[in-house]
Chain A
Amino acid sequence: MTRFQKSLSGGGLLLVILAVYSLLNGAHHLSVNTVVSTLFYAGDQDFIVNHYRLPRLFIAILVGMGLAISGVLTQAIIRNPLASPDLMGISGGAGLAACTVLLTQPDINPAWLPVIALLGGFTAAFLIYWLNSRHQPSPARLALLGIAISAFLSSCINFLLVLYPIEVNSAMIWLTGSLWGRNWDYIWPLLPWLLTLVPFSYYLAWRLDLFALGDETASALGVDTKRLQIMALLSAVALASVSVAVCGTIGFVGLLAPHLARLLVGSQHKLMLPVAALIGALLVLSADTLARNLAPPLELPAGVLTAILGAPYFVFLLHRYKGW
């Protein structure tokens, strides 16, 4: 077996185990038999399994994939190991837009959320692009600028939450990212976006490998670099925004997943992209499962746990990074 197959099958196995664990455990423990029979024939536990844990499981996997792939694309296009949608302020923009609309129009149909988040995400991306266009900053400076913009956007979210006080778990969705109370209603609007964008990023994969060789080499080898950059960035922003629309800015997944995938299978995008997606799904799912099981019936936001894991890793990246 190649490293790719090993990582993919190992990760897949881990994902299945985690998924089963997350269906069984929570504030109320269920036996395997109950869960299986409920999945097929409904029953007493229908609500807990089919309408509470199952949609959350799927959302965690989808969102994790979305964030991870978005991270891969961003890092490839900006050629910056410190880049990720949440550190660049894109997630912050999407979160602010979605949160604003949800707080001012609480009855809105969830199907609109991804669209609104997209608008926010693109605005933030454009803002960063515009601020950068005047001088070419080093990758580390770009990260700093992105973080400054995210800080601004999240203080806006903070402010909104004071204007429209809501219950703590919903507030946490927008402050740190959480999957609390997400049900089937939120999967359907997410699905079409991911179903188009994920294959599309895979289609871009080999071009990204060429792009990594440098602008000139890539165009000499027949890649339209300008177009590739635009397409990859658009899909990165879109993937991050729709994920954020559903469960807020779960931080550091878009940073961690690509790096871990690169460690496992190297930097060839065709191999790395699926592995990164799998790792992203694993990260979000394990964070959410842990968040539900640490202190039941209280729930921690999943974003808190990914930050506890991701922030030290970011420091480690800074330690290793040499391009100051």
Chain B
Amino acid sequence: MKTIQQTLNAPDSLLLTLIKSLTSLSSAKVIVLYMMLLLGFTLSLVGQSEFSLTLNDAWQALISPDSGSIKQQVILSLRMPRSLIACLIGLNLGVAGVLMQGLTRNPLASPTLFAINSGAACLMALSSIGVAFISAFPIEVVTFIGAALGGFLVFFLGGGLSSHHNPLRLILAGIAINALLTSLTRAALIISDDKAHTLLHWLSGSLSEADWQNWLQLWPVSLVALLIALSTSRGLNLNALGEQTASSLGMNVNALRIRVCLAVLLLTAISVTIAGPIVFVGLIAPHLARSLFGNNHYMLIPASGLLGAALVCWADLLSRFIVPPAETPVGIITALIGTPFFIYLVLKEEKQ
């Protein structure tokens, strides 16, 4: 009851929301979380390189950059953007997952299972083989349309638009649409380029090509989308009580839906544009966050984002260690972690 009271009295201004979100995350768990993220970030700056980088090199590169040193160049122009991008993409996907679960009140909702990831990837692949009307747009717009298309197809065909929709049907429809879109993506990629390696890498999400250019592409969109995401905290808290209760408490449900959808699509689309579909992050992070921090979205959204960031960062680090010097696409690592988690969630749901 207390949280409901708090929610109702909560201010809705963005700045206050932001402050509230940041300050609410100050317990010991959060410190551990930040440490995890920081450790992952640092290690991914120096880990597994031909040049045997040390932490000292990384530190020197930050405080007194020396353009003559190869090690510092590696850290500054290759490792740094890659690690930053890994964190931000993880953050995006974690937040997107928590927003979707909050809006649909479906514990399995996530960009991967609702085909938003694969929709974006599919349209991107189609535009790369030059399907005329798609190729005319810039790539960010293409992925955004793809993400929207994937999500809409799932909701429309899974019966999510009717008031009495079945959550299970939605998920199964999502998986089927996912299979369809992935198949189309594969077909498009085979037609455009028959090198197995690049194909596999791109299909399963990889950060190995990330550079500063990508970072400049990524952060402005992410920032806007994350701010929109944070602004929905209060609405999502109310929405957890059920749509009817929420609207009788004075919430505009449709406005919330639009904001959440916009944020989710932007977050997912820009992430897919940079790294391809990195799967299951948006499913794992929100669940971990919920078990650590409870159901208050003021806390849940940033916490899930941080967990997502830590997850992708560590997965990316791991991806370089498995078969050096070759790189495993980071999406395969998250899939290997994520699918058992998915099975566990299905079994847990069954019990209830």
Interface presence of B224 (CB below 8 A): no
Could you pull out 24 A-B pairs where Cβ atoms are within 8 angstroms?
A131-B343, A141-B350, A152-B340, A155-B335, A156-B336, A158-B200, A158-B335, A159-B336, A161-B200, A162-B332, A167-B196, A168-B199, A172-B190, A299-B190, A301-B186, A304-B186, A307-B180, A311-B177, A315-B157, A315-B158, A315-B176, A318-B157, A321-B169, A324-B169
Select B194's contact among A159, A168, A251, A307, beta carbons within 8 Å.
A168
A114-158 interface code vs B (CB 8 A; 1 in, 0 out) = 000000000000000001000101001101110111011001101
Residues in A neighbouring B332, C-beta threshold 8 A: 155, 158-159, 162
Cα(A172)–Cα(B194), bound, Å: 11
Cα(A300)–Cα(B173), bound, Å: 25
Interface presence of B351 (CB below 8 A): yes
B residues near A, CB below 8 A? 157-159, 166, 168-169, 171-173, 175-177, 179-180, 182-184, 186-187, 190-191, 194-197, 199-200, 204, 322-323, 326, 328-329, 332, 335-336, 339-340, 342-343, 346-347, 349-351
Q: Are A315 and B173 in contact (CB-based, < 8 A)?
A: yes
Interface presence of A198 (CB below 8 A): no
Interface presence of A176 (CB below 8 A): yes
Interface presence of A312 (CB below 8 A): yes
A135-B350 contact given A140-B169, A168-B195, A311-B177, CB 8 Å threshold: yes
A307-B350 contact given A151-B339, A159-B328, CB 8 Å threshold: no
Interface presence of A210 (CB below 8 A): no
A145-B186 contact given A168-B195, A311-B179, CB 8 Å threshold: no
- Please report which residues of chain A, range 200-241, place their CB below 8 angstroms from some CB of chain B when the two chains form the complex: none
Residues in B neighbouring A308, C-beta threshold 8 A: 180, 183-184, 187
Top 8 closest pairs, chain A to chain B, by CB: A152-B339, A168-B196, A155-B335, A311-B180, A307-B183, A314-B176, A304-B183, A148-B343
Cα(A321)–Cα(B157), bound, Å: 13
Interface presence of A319 (CB below 8 A): yes
A39 nearest CB across to chain B (Å)? 31
Residues in B neighbouring A314, C-beta threshold 8 A: 172, 176
Q: Are A168 and B190 in contact (CB-based, < 8 A)?
A: yes
A235 nearest CB across to chain B (Å)? 26
A148-B328 contact given A158-B200, A159-B336, A315-B173, CB 8 Å threshold: no
Q: Are A318 and B190 in contact (CB-based, < 8 A)?
A: no
B201 nearest CB across to chain A (Å)? 8
Q: Are B172 and A318 in contact (CB-based, < 8 A)?
A: yes
Central interface residue in A135, A159, A298, by most chain B CB within 10 Å: A159
Q: Are A162 and B328 in contact (CB-based, < 8 A)?
A: yes
Interface presence of A16 (CB below 8 A): no
A289-323 interface code vs B (CB 8 A; 1 in, 0 out) = 00000010011110111011011101100110100
- Please report which residues of chain A, range 253-304, place their CB below 8 angstroms from some CB of chain B when the two chains form the complex: 295, 298-301, 303-304
Residues in B neighbouring A82, C-beta threshold 8 A: 172
- Interface SS, A side: helix
Residues in A neighbouring B169, C-beta threshold 8 A: 140, 318, 321, 324
Q: Are A148 and B186 in contact (CB-based, < 8 A)?
A: no
Give how many A-B residue pairs fall within 8 Å (CB-CB).
133
Q: Are B168 and A300 in contact (CB-based, < 8 A)?
A: no
Cα(A137)–Cα(B348), bound, Å: 11
Considering the complex, give the chain B residue whose CB is closest to the CB of A303. Answer: B183
Q: Are A135 and B351 in contact (CB-based, < 8 A)?
A: yes
Interface presence of A113 (CB below 8 A): no
- Please report which residues of chain A, range 32-51, place their CB below 8 angstroms from some CB of chain B when the two chains form the complex: none
Interface presence of A171 (CB below 8 A): yes
A117 nearest CB across to chain B (Å)? 21
Interface presence of A165 (CB below 8 A): yes
Residues in B neighbouring A172, C-beta threshold 8 A: 186, 190
Q: Are B323 and A318 in contact (CB-based, < 8 A)?
A: no
Residues in A neighbouring B328, C-beta threshold 8 A: 159, 162-163
Considering the complex, give the chain B residue whose CB is closest to the CB of A156. Answer: B336
Given known contacts A172-B190, A303-B183, A305-B183, what 18 new A-B pairs fall within 8 Å (CB)?
A141-B349, A145-B347, A148-B342, A155-B332, A155-B336, A161-B200, A162-B332, A165-B197, A175-B186, A298-B190, A301-B186, A301-B190, A311-B177, A314-B172, A315-B173, A318-B157, A319-B159, A324-B168
Cα(A175)–Cα(B184), bound, Å: 13
Residues in B neighbouring A295, C-beta threshold 8 A: 191
Interface presence of A166 (CB below 8 A): yes
Cα(A311)–Cα(B179), bound, Å: 7
- Please report which residues of chain A, range 162-183, place their CB below 8 angstroms from some CB of chain B when the two chains form the complex: 162-163, 165-169, 171-172, 175-176
Considering the complex, give the chain B residue whose CB is closest to the CB of A171. Answer: B196
B48 nearest CB across to chain A (Å)? 16
Cα(A295)–Cα(B183), bound, Å: 16
A176-B183 contact given A158-B204, A324-B168, CB 8 Å threshold: yes
Considering the complex, give the chain A residue whose CB is closest to the CB of B191. Answer: A295
Cα(A242)–Cα(B29), bound, Å: 50
Q: Are A144 and B172 in contact (CB-based, < 8 A)?
A: yes
Considering the complex, give the chain A residue whose CB is closest to the CB of B345. Answer: A148
A157 nearest CB across to chain B (Å)? 10
B106 nearest CB across to chain A (Å)? 12
Residues in B neighbouring A148, C-beta threshold 8 A: 339, 342-343, 346
A126 nearest CB across to chain B (Å)? 15
Residues in B neighbouring A318, C-beta threshold 8 A: 157-158, 169, 172-173, 176
